[in-house]
A and B are shown apart, each in its own frame.
Chain A
Amino acid sequence: MPIIKIPSPLQPYVESQRSLMIEGSTIEEVFSNLTTKYPGIRPHLFDPERKFRSFISIFLRDVNVKDLKNGMKSRVAEDDELTVIASMAGG
Chain B
Amino acid sequence: MGSGLTHLEYERYSRHLLIPEVGLKGQEKLKESSVLIVGTGGLGSPVSSYLAAAGVGRIGIVDFDKVELSNLQRQVIHGSHSIGESKVVSAKNAMLDINQDIQVDTFEEQFTSENALRIANNYDILIDGSDNFPTRYLSNDVCVLLGIPNIFGSVFRFDGQASVFYAKEGPCYRCLFPEPPPAGLIPSCADGGVLGILPGTIGTIQATEAIKLLLGIGSNLIGRLLLYDALEMTFDFVKIRKNPECRICGDRADIHALVDYEAFCGSSTRLDDMDLSDPHQTLMPEELSRKIEEKEIIFLLDVREPHELEISRIKNAKNIPLGQLPGRLNELNINQEIVIFCKSGHRSRRALEILYSNGIRNAKYLKGGINEWARIIDPSLPVY
Contacts and interface: CB of A to CB of B under 8 A. Distances in A.
A89 B323 contact: no
Contacts of B227: 83, 85
Interface string B37-51: 001011110000000
Given A13-B323, A54-B179, A64-B239, A91 B231 contact: no
B176 A57 contact: yes
B258 interface: no
Interface residues of B, number: 55
Nearest to B188: A90
B227 to A, nearest CB: 7
Interface string A77-91: 000000101111111
Contacts of A88: 154-156, 159, 161, 186
Query: Could you say which of A8, A13, A43 has the most chain B C-beta atoms within 10 Å of its C-beta?
Result: A8
Contact of B39 (A7, A18, A44, A91): A91
B269 A91 contact: no
Contacts of B177: 54-55, 57, 87
B346 to A, nearest CB: 12
A83 B232 contact: no
Interface in B66-87: none
Contact of A59 (B136, B155, B238): B238
Contact of B159 (A8, A12, A89): A8
Interface in B1-56: 39, 41-44
A89 B136 contact: yes
Contacts of B108: none
Interface in B140-193: 153-159, 161, 176-181, 185-189, 192
A9 interface: yes
B360 to A, nearest CB: 16
A62 B247 CA distance: 24
A91 B136 CA distance: 10
Interface in A24-66: 39-40, 43-44, 47, 53-55, 57, 59, 62-64
Contacts of B131: 89-91
B192 A9 contact: yes
Query: Could you say which of A11, A47, A86 has the most chain B C-beta atoms within 10 Å of its C-beta?
Result: A86
Query: Could you say which of A13, A40, A55 has the most chain B C-beta atoms within 10 Å of its C-beta?
Result: A55
A43 B271 contact: yes
A89 B178 contact: no
Query: Could you say which of A54, A57, A67 has the most chain B C-beta atoms within 10 Å of its C-beta?
Result: A54
A12 B156 contact: no
Contacts of B322: 12
Interface of B: 39, 41-44, 128-133, 135-136, 153-159, 161, 176-181, 185-189, 192, 194, 199, 225, 227, 229, 231-232, 236-241, 269, 271, 305, 321-324, 326-327
28 contacts: A8-B157, A8-B158, A9-B192, A12-B305, A40-B324, A43-B326, A54-B269, A55-B181, A63-B238, A63-B239, A64-B238, A83-B227, A83-B236, A83-B238, A85-B227, A87-B176, A87-B181, A87-B186, A88-B154, A88-B155, A89-B132, A89-B135, A90-B189, A91-B39, A91-B41, A91-B42, A91-B130, A91-B155
Instruction: List the 9 closest A-B pairs by CB distance, nearest first.
Output: A12-B323, A54-B179, A90-B189, A91-B131, A87-B177, A55-B181, A8-B157, A54-B178, A88-B156
